[in-house]
Structure 1
Amino acid sequence: MQHLAWLMLVMLWMVQAAEGCPDVCKCSRKSGPEKSEVNCHKRGLRTFPSKLPPDAWILKLGENGITDLKANALRSIPKIESINLERNAIKSIHPQAFSGAKQLMLLNLYGNHITNLPPRGFQDLLNLRFLMLGHNQIGIIKPQMFAGMRNLSDLDLPLNGLTTLPSNAFKPLIALKVLDLSLNRIQRISPKAFIGLRQLMFLNLDNNSLKNVPAGAFRPLRSLEMLVLDNNLLSTLSSSTLDGLGNLQELYLRNNELEHLPPDVFRNMAKLSQLAVSGNRLKTVDGNMFAHMPDLKKLSLHDNAWQCDCNIVSLVQWMGQTKATLSPRDALKCTSPLELRNKSLSRLQADKLSCRA
């Protein structure tokens, strides 16, 4: 009798699920008696479906032709936890589009045509952990766009049109741990751009147009462990550019236009284990700056314009003593003077390096 009752309940649920499932989609039960997955991936949809199972918790809507998200689009599915809307044609998002979706944890909007985020448009998403906004056309970010998102852990904004990071841009995101801003056109960072990001552990600014970073801009990032600044236009770092990064373990400055590194630029960064400054215009550096990094395991210095004279003696001496991996050691070659051109730095004898008067 109990078995029959259970069977009737299952059949009833299946009827209810079928009633709430869009015709072109596939709905299936997952994880428990009150959760269903709705798969509408690549089904030719032009609008956000209005008929959805009320117990939907995963919604897959990728690779359709949806152009906008209207007010209260999620009101009928209050238990929704994950929505994938990647590679649609979304241009506009109503400020109340996500109203009521207080259990949503993942929202993927990668690869749409979004140019602007509605102010306070995500404020109901109190439990959102992951927000993917890459490969859109977002040109401006303001703090009110992220209002209420106190539990967001991962914000992906690569491949957009950002040119500036204004003051307090991410201030509401007090729990953010990962911020990806790569492949934008960022030229200017406000000294107060990163205020509030005390939990941030990974910051990616690869492939932007940064010529400099204002002193103290990274100071709020007390938990940062990895900073990527590869493929920018940085020509100089001041002694205070990297202030506040006492927990940093990996720093990548490859393929910039750096000509000089102040001897104290990496001071107070004792936890640094990987440092890459290859592909710059460095002629010499003070080798003593690396001696203050007890955890340094890997250092990338190749593809620079090394001038092998008396000014490089401290670097050559440090290279002979360190246990760190120089990657790759054989690619570290002199550019000048002419008689030492293409000679490996590791083969130089410090006591024979001189500076012409």
Structure 2
Amino acid sequence: MQYSLWLMLVILWVSQTVEGCPDVCKCSRKSGSEKSEVNCHKRGLFSFPSNLPPDAWILHLGENGIAEVKANVLRSVPKIESVNLERNSIKSIHPQAFAGAKQLMLLNLYGNHITSIPPRGFQDLLNLRFLMLGQNQIGILKAEMFAGMRNLSDLDLPLNALTTLPSHVFKPLITLRVLDLSLNRIQRISPKAFTGLKQLMFLNLDNNSLKTIPAGAFKPLHSLEMLVLDNNLLSTLSMSAFDGLSNLQELYLRNNELEHLPPDVLGNVPRLSQLALSGNRLKTVDGNMFAHMPELKKLYLHDNQWQCDCNISALLQWMGQTKVTLSPPDSLRCVSPPELRNKSLRSLQTSKLLCPA
């Protein structure tokens, strides 16, 4: 009986043994599975391991010292679906580095030293869904870099050195849903930068250096639900800044330099439910603007430079009638005139507000 039990354990152990595992890595396979997981995380590697098990489907190579991704590094693992290369020292990627990896779904290159993406370097990755390129030194984007990536749904590019978004740069990414461009140095967006992104749902441009939004720049983004423009240098918005965003539900414009809003600037975003305008230089806002937004649920207006004169009457009247959740009431206070400084907007009587001379 004991011998039989021992024999069963040996057979089970043998079934878990993975042939061709690199010496410094740990390879494992679930019982009954034909896929191996290869863990080479933080193993002091300076090059891509060559003797990988042919049935590998997950490869962990994070926090090593790999500086270069050479041609055909995944040729021996045709079933590979996930590769994690975060926090290495990668500076260059061969144009044929990922050739043959047609089942790859996730590629993580976060936290390396990549300055440019090779033209058509990802064209073989027909099934790639997630591409993480954050915290690198990428300064230029071109459409040819994303050629062939027709199934990509999530592109992360925060913490890079981007300064401009040229025309048609994302055009090959026809199924992209999430685009993160935060924490770059983007100063200019081409009016046709987002052409082709008909399925995009989330766009993050937080912490850049945008001073203006070109008219119609967001027009192709018919499916966009959330747009983040916090922490930029926006001082004005054109009447057509948000044209085309008929499905937009959340708009964040916090900590910019906006001094006023054109009356109909939000006229083309009928489904907007959350709007954040805190931390700007607004002196007054026409309350009638919000009265024509039936889906609005939350509105943040604190930390602005409210000028409490007769021009703010429409806003006060709307605030007194609306069921929209506003900034904490005590946070909305007058900055001028001097006699009303620090006075709560909710405490004001519109009939007593003076008009500027």
TM-score (normalised: structure 2): 0.96
**Quick one: structure 1 residues 11 and 250, their matched pair in 2 at CA, closer, same or farther if it must change by over 3 Å?**
same
- Which amino acid letter does the alignment assign opposite residue 185 of structure 1? R
1:169 is paired with a residue whose SS is coil
1:330 is paired with a residue whose SS is helix
Determine the structure 1 residue equivalent to 2:189: 189
- Which amino acid letter does the alignment assign opposite residue 100 of structure 1? G
1:203 is paired with a residue whose SS is strand
2:339 is paired with a residue whose SS is helix
Deviation at residue 33 of structure 1 after TM alignment: 2.6
Deviation string for 1:146-203 (max 9, x for gaps)? 0000000000000000000000010000000000000000000000000000000000
Determine the structure 2 residue equivalent to 1:93: 93
What value does the CA root-mean-square deviation take over the aligned residues?
Answer: 1.7
Deviation at residue 38 of structure 1 after TM alignment: 0.2
- Distance, in Å, in 2 between the alignment partners of 1:259 and 1:290 is 17
- Distance, in Å, in 2 between the alignment partners of 1:190 and 1:110 is 26
Determine the structure 2 residue equivalent to 1:251: 251
How many residues are paired up?
Answer: 353
Determine the structure 2 residue equivalent to 1:216: 216
**Quick one: structure 1 residues 117 and 356, their matched pair in 2 at CA, closer, same or farther if it must change by over 3 Å?**
closer
- Distance, in Å, in 1 between the alignment partners of 2:181 and 2:200 is 13
Determine the structure 2 residue equivalent to 1:71: 71
Pairing 1:124–2:124 present: yes
- Distance, in Å, in 1 between the alignment partners of 2:117 and 2:356 is 60
Structure 2: 5+ residue runs without aligned partners? none
Deviation at residue 30 of structure 1 after TM alignment: 3.4
Deviation at residue 12 of structure 1 after TM alignment: 6.3
- Which amino acid letter does the alignment assign opposite residue 131 of structure 2? L
Deviation at residue 303 of structure 1 after TM alignment: 0.7
Q: How does 1:97-112 map to 2 (within 5 A)?
A: 97-112=97-112
Q: How does 1:310-325 map to 2 (within 5 A)?
A: 310-325=310-325
Determine the structure 2 residue equivalent to 1:144: 144
**Quick one: structure 1 residues 32 and 145, their matched pair in 2 at CA, closer, same or farther if it must change by over 3 Å?**
farther
Contact (CA 8 Å) 2:186, 2:208: kept in 1 or not? yes
- Which amino acid letter does the alignment assign opposite residue 208 of structure 1? N
Determine the structure 2 residue equivalent to 1:238: 238
Deviation at residue 126 of structure 1 after TM alignment: 0.5
Deviation at residue 310 of structure 1 after TM alignment: 0.7
- Distance, in Å, in 2 between the alignment partners of 1:145 and 1:53 is 30
Any runs of at least 4 consecutive aligned residues in structure 1 with deviations exceeding 4 A, and if so which? 3-15
Determine the structure 2 residue equivalent to 1:28: 28
- Distance, in Å, in 2 between the alignment partners of 1:112 and 1:334 is 47
- Distance, in Å, in 1 between the alignment partners of 2:6 and 2:334 is 83
Deviation string for 1:272-313 (max 9, x for gaps)? 110001111110110000011111111000111100001100
Deviation at residue 8 of structure 1 after TM alignment: 9.1
1:251 is paired with a residue whose SS is strand
Determine the structure 2 residue equivalent to 1:154: 154
Determine the structure 2 residue equivalent to 1:135: 135
Deviation string for 1:18-48 (max 9, x for gaps)? 3x10001000003753101000000000000
- Which amino acid letter does the alignment assign opposite residue 85 of structure 2? L
